[in-house]
Every structure is written in C-alpha cells, then in structure tokens.
Amino acid sequence: MAGLATNPKVFLTTCYRRFRNDYWDAVGGQVFDLPRVASPRKVSVSLRFIKQNVSEIEILEYPSWNEYVAKLREGWDIVGFSFFHHDLWEILEMAEEARRQGVKEIWAGGYGALSDESARFADRVFTVYVEDQLNREIFGRKLDRLRHPPIVNSLNLHVPPRFLIKK
C-alpha cells in the first residue's frame, strides 16, 4: 500500500453485467432446456457485508460497463473486485480500465481470488473475511463486532418454451 493516502478512497465492485437482466444460473450453464431457478445479478452479499462493517468503502453491485467506467472517473486510490472464477475475463477488463484511469492499487477477493490469475493482476489478494482486517490496516480502528447487513435477493424461474406449450 505504498504511496496511498492516509484515508484512501476505496471502491469495491463485482463483475459488470453484459445485459440489463443478467442472472447467475449455475445449472443453466450445464443443463439446457430444463426448468430451473436463477438469481438476477443485482445483489452481492459479500460486498454488502463489507460495506456494513467498513463504512468508508463504496460499493457498486453488478454495474453495467458504462456505470463502472463512470464510477472510476470519480477518482479512487483502490479498486477491489469480489468475483467468481467464471467472471475472470470481465474482471481482467475492469482491472485494466482501472489502471488506465490511474488507480494506484487493485484488490481481488471472493472465490475468484483463489485462482492463480488473481495474483497476476491484483496488488493484493484476499481469500478470507476482510472486515476486521480492512478496519485495522486501512482505517486504523478495531472492529468491535461484525454486523450483518439487510439482504433481500430474488430468484427467477426460467421455463423453456417447450414446457409452456399446451398439447
């Protein structure tokens, strides 16, 4: 963290959404043409936990590319990514754009941070809960207790057309 401000501006985000109604569907990527439940890419539980316990950090959950770039223009010392391994290529694009806009330090976290690739693009990789660590190391205080954020998430039922046709 050499060269960072005493109270650095920290922005954490997830992978960008390619489509407005993008969703996470672990089953659909493997099993096609069956009814299944999917989760819209709108809520990041991990980022909400961090924000609830480290108030100075700003988060942006599943932005569009344009929303992400606009947020970068606000000027940040640190940009961190919480992501899954299957989002790696998008995260690499996002990290490259952050560097292009002058971000001094890139962080990686979440399951995607467990990959070898994270150590290649990120200055710092987090593979554990970070709320207390960030409070101590970045903002110079001890976290007295971990607070759970309010979380509401939705699920969508995807039914392929062949199941909707009445015979």
* Per-residue model confidence as pLDDT tens digits over 117-143: 999 999 999 988 888 889 888 888 888
Q: Say if CB 79 and CB 21 are below 8 A apart.
A: no
Residue written as token pair 């069956």: 34
Tell me the DSSP string of 54-74.
-TT-EEE-S-BHHHHHHHHTT
Q: Is the pLDDT of residue 29 over 90?
A: no
Give the separation between CA 117 and CA 103, rounded to whole angstroms: 19
Q: Say if CB 43 and CB 22 are below 8 A apart.
A: no
Taking residues 139-152, report their average pLDDT: 80
pLDDT at residue number 114: 94
- pTM of the prediction? 0.80
pLDDT at residue number 38: 64
User: Which domains occur in the chain, in start order?
Assistant: 10-87+100-163 (3.40.50)
